[in-house]
Amino acid sequence: MGPCRNFSIIAHIDHGKSTLADRSLTGTISKKPSGSNQQVLDKLKVERERGITVKAQTASMVYALKSQKYLLNLIDTPGHVDFSWEVSRSLAACQGALLLVDATQGVQAQSISVYHIAKERGLMVIPVLNKIDMPASQPARVILQLESMFGVDPVDVLQISAKTGQGVDAVLRAVIERIPPPSASAENPLKALLFDSHYDRYRGVISLVSIHDGVIRKGDKIASCHTRKKYEVQEVGVMYPEELPTASLRPGQVGYIACNMKESSEAHVGDTLYRVGAQVDPMPGFRPAKPMVYAGIFPVDTNDFIKLEESVKRLTLTDRSVSVQRESSSALGQGCRLGFLGTLHMDVFRQRLEDEYDANIIVTAPTVPYKVVYKDRTVIVSNPTEFPDLSDSSSGVKEVQEPVVKATIIVPEDHLGEMMELCFAHRAEDLDHRYLDAGATKSARIILTCTIPLSEIVTNFFDKLKSKSSGYASFDYEDAGYRRSDLSKMVFLLNGKPVDALALIVHRSGQQEVGRTWVKKLHKVIPRQLFEVPIQAAIGKQIIARETLKAMRADVTAGLYGGHYERKMKHLENQKESKRRMKRVGSVDLPQEAFFNILSTKAK
């Protein structure tokens, strides 16, 4: 195998990464006729359905330039803000990146954030304008944006259509000519960075590695710097784009290895693998992913907990950014408390659990991690049930802080007013804005920045942003620490008894509205009982909102008589079935189904 290049494609969502990745692969590997774009790299069902890339994939291709064959390793990266951890992880194995910008849309919020991540990692960035086949494309204008935002020299910008294939060849040539080869040496002792892994039922854990120094071959005895465990390599190969076994992986190459690693927890992302007996210093690993949003996941049928926990464990192996803890709720039974990078990440995880593991689950409302400061210690609370009652003077709490983010919104000038209103309505501070297109005469775009509580954007901020800007606004955010805040725990009472799984943490400004909306929702989904049930929202001892659920008639079969025997039996049967899954909150019977309905309407 000849020299190699390791690169990645970085872009705002929908700017065409997967199309370009597929185009380069199908162009170089199987020479598929144009038009049969099979989206080779987007493998997960949820990715196909939602048209987004969630998990970075790796694929290799061979490209010949001036009679020299090059091995090009492409590491695909996700486009959504929730997955920026995956982006930085993929970039660790690269020396360069293609910054792909849609020529009809121009620079967007995530173009900026991914550009900075690549630059921080010292990568060579090649600017590429995509979709120039579209009549609405404005290459000259977007080149000016690249120049003013990133100081790009206009002559370095490539112009392509990933869809028709125009210019794609020039991109691959630029990868070879502009991106430096990995600085690795075959003479040095083996050092391989483990940057991803997945579980294979037959072969155990398969790890994706980037070889920094040395060579790795089948039969080699290797060890992990992290666990010091030893393994024998059973197979090595490249992703072509499916696994293709090779004799060895050489310095600078990216590929997979199968060794006798049995447990998913042994494959530690960021670990350095070395040859048994050699002395090597571990490479700097990755900063662990920081969960921004937490939610409880419970099986609809409480008997399924063990199965659910096992599925969660398997799935977290392919998605290391999810944190997992056990949780138990008096209303929902045993479950897991999971930490995610954002709400899209949470939705995707939930959908994968349902699709790939056939799980039937209830997900509680998303919560961000709050800081509760006591006189002598600070506690992070990511579960509303653990949040103290601040109206109780003996709680000893000095103050409460909530996580805030620095948000960047890019929007056409005509929508600036609505965007500012939206930000203020979500408790934004330090609002600032400036022009993105220097000197543009019409439909200029603005970059708006502000700090905003994370809890405000984990609900439906993004949907509102899109609808208020007619789809034109793009949005990204980064962690900006904690801010003191006026928060309290809201609990919901059924017949005077609190339902733990429904507790929320709310800001004073939203208490009334949240309380009223929720009580109404509960009223809609809770089945009538044999007696009247008050449904209340409370903060401490204060009741914020109330609805009353009227009593129902005692016998569900009372209205059925005589010849309707079958119908009657069926009714009784149904009643028995839902009883099995009934939860009792105080004196109120609640089917799991009601929780499912409440919580699935809640996020909207």
Numbered residues of the known binding site for GTP: 11-18, 76-80, 130-133
14 lies in the binding site for ligand GTP (CB under 6 A): yes
Cβ-based nearer residue to ligand GTP, 11 or 46: 11
Question: Residue 26, class by beta-carbon neighbours within 10 Å (0-12 exposed, 13-18 middle, 19+ buried)?
Answer: buried
Helix intervals (H) in 365-477: 416-425, 454-457, 461-468
51 lies in the binding site for ligand GTP (CB under 6 A): yes
Cβ-based nearer residue to ligand GTP, 115 or 274: 115
474 lies in the binding site for ligand GTP (CB under 6 A): no
- Report whether 74 contacts 28 (CB < 8 A): no
130 lies in the binding site for ligand GTP (CB under 6 A): yes
Q: How far is the CB of 498 from ligand GTP (least distance, A)?
A: 41
16 lies in the binding site for ligand GTP (CB under 6 A): yes
Q: Report which residue type is found at 173.
A: R
DSSP for 328-345 reads: EETTTEEEEEEEESSHHH
52 lies in the binding site for ligand GTP (CB under 6 A): yes
Q: How far is the CB of 20 from ligand GTP (least distance, A)?
A: 7
Cβ-based nearer residue to ligand GTP, 98 or 598: 98
Binds ligand GTP (CB under 6 A): choice among 43, 133, 523, 557: 133
The helix-helix angle for 511-525 and 592-602 (nearest 10°) equals: 140
Strands 397-412, 370-374: pairing is: antiparallel
Furthest-apart CA atoms within the chain: distance in Å: 90
- Report whether 370 contacts 487 (CB < 8 A): yes
What are the distances in angstroms from CA 34 to CA 27, 172, 453? 9, 17, 47
Cβ-based nearer residue to ligand GTP, 19 or 113: 19
Own/partner long-range contacts of 196-199 (Cβ < 8 Å, ≥24 apart)? 196/56, 196/58, 196/89, 196/269, 197/264, 197/267, 197/269, 197/317, 197/318, 198/317, 198/318, 199/264, 199/314, 199/317, 199/318
Q: How far is the CB of 323 from ligand GTP (least distance, A)?
A: 24
Tokens read off for 405? 């983010």
Name the residue with the smallest CB distance to ligand GTP: 79
Q: How far is the CB of 9 from ligand GTP (least distance, A)?
A: 8
Q: How many residues bind ligand GTP (CB under 6 A)?
A: 19
Binds ligand GTP (CB under 6 A): choice among 5, 55, 89, 163: 163
19 lies in the binding site for ligand GTP (CB under 6 A): yes
Binds ligand GTP (CB under 6 A): choice among 162, 184, 269, 338: 162
User: In this chain, which stretch among 51-59, 305-313, 427-435, 436-444 interacts with ligand GTP, using CB under 6 A?
Assistant: 51-59
Cβ-based nearer residue to ligand GTP, 51 or 481: 51
53 lies in the binding site for ligand GTP (CB under 6 A): yes
- Report whether 297 contacts 329 (CB < 8 A): no
User: In this chain, which stretch among 12-20, 143-151, 421-429, 482-490 interacts with ligand GTP, using CB under 6 A?
Assistant: 12-20
Binding-site residues sit at 11-18, 76-80, 130-133
Question: Please, which of residues 64-83 interact with ligand GTP by CB under 6 A?
Answer: 79
Residue 442, SS3?
A: coil
278 lies in the binding site for ligand GTP (CB under 6 A): no
- Report whether 168 contacts 23 (CB < 8 A): yes
Q: Of 332, 1, 20, give the one whose Cα is nearest residue 9.
A: 20
Cβ-based nearer residue to ligand GTP, 79 or 296: 79
User: In this chain, which stretch among 14-22, 272-280, 412-420, 432-440 interacts with ligand GTP, using CB under 6 A?
Assistant: 14-22
Binds ligand GTP (CB under 6 A): choice among 6, 8, 18, 264: 18
d(CA 476, CA 12): 10
Cβ-based nearer residue to ligand GTP, 17 or 345: 17
DSSP for 470-491 reads: TT--EEEEEEEEEEE--EEEEE
User: In this chain, which stretch among 161-169, 193-201, 279-287, 552-560 interacts with ligand GTP, using CB under 6 A?
Assistant: 161-169
Phi, psi of 461 (to 5 degrees): -60, -45
Q: How far is the CB of 476 from ligand GTP (least distance, A)?
A: 13
CA dihedral of 420, 426, 428, 434, whole degrees rounded to 10: -30
Q: How far is the CB of 51 from ligand GTP (least distance, A)?
A: 6
Q: Of 455, 283, 436, give the one whose Cα is nearest residue 381.
A: 455
- Report whether 596 contacts 502 (CB < 8 A): no
- Report whether 62 contacts 28 (CB < 8 A): yes
User: In this chain, which stretch among 45-53, 176-184, 262-270, 454-462 interacts with ligand GTP, using CB under 6 A?
Assistant: 45-53
Tokens read off for 598? 């409440």
- Report whether 73 contacts 4 (CB < 8 A): yes
d(CA 125, CA 25): 20
169 lies in the binding site for ligand GTP (CB under 6 A): no
Cβ-based nearer residue to ligand GTP, 16 or 339: 16
User: In this chain, which stretch among 13-21, 57-65, 288-296, 533-541 interacts with ligand GTP, using CB under 6 A?
Assistant: 13-21
Q: How far is the CB of 442 from ligand GTP (least distance, A)?
A: 23
Cβ-based nearer residue to ligand GTP, 130 or 329: 130
Q: How far is the CB of 11 from ligand GTP (least distance, A)?
A: 5
Tally helices (H) and strands (E) across the chain.
14, 32
User: In this chain, which stretch among 10-18, 438-446, 447-455, 514-522 interacts with ligand GTP, using CB under 6 A?
Assistant: 10-18
Strands 4-11, 68-76: pairing is: parallel
Tokens read off for 195? 């940057």
131 lies in the binding site for ligand GTP (CB under 6 A): yes
Binds ligand GTP (CB under 6 A): choice among 4, 7, 10, 15: 15
Q: How far is the CB of 348 from ligand GTP (least distance, A)?
A: 12
Residues that bind ligand GTP (CB under 6 A): 11, 13-19, 51-53, 79, 130-131, 133-134, 161-163
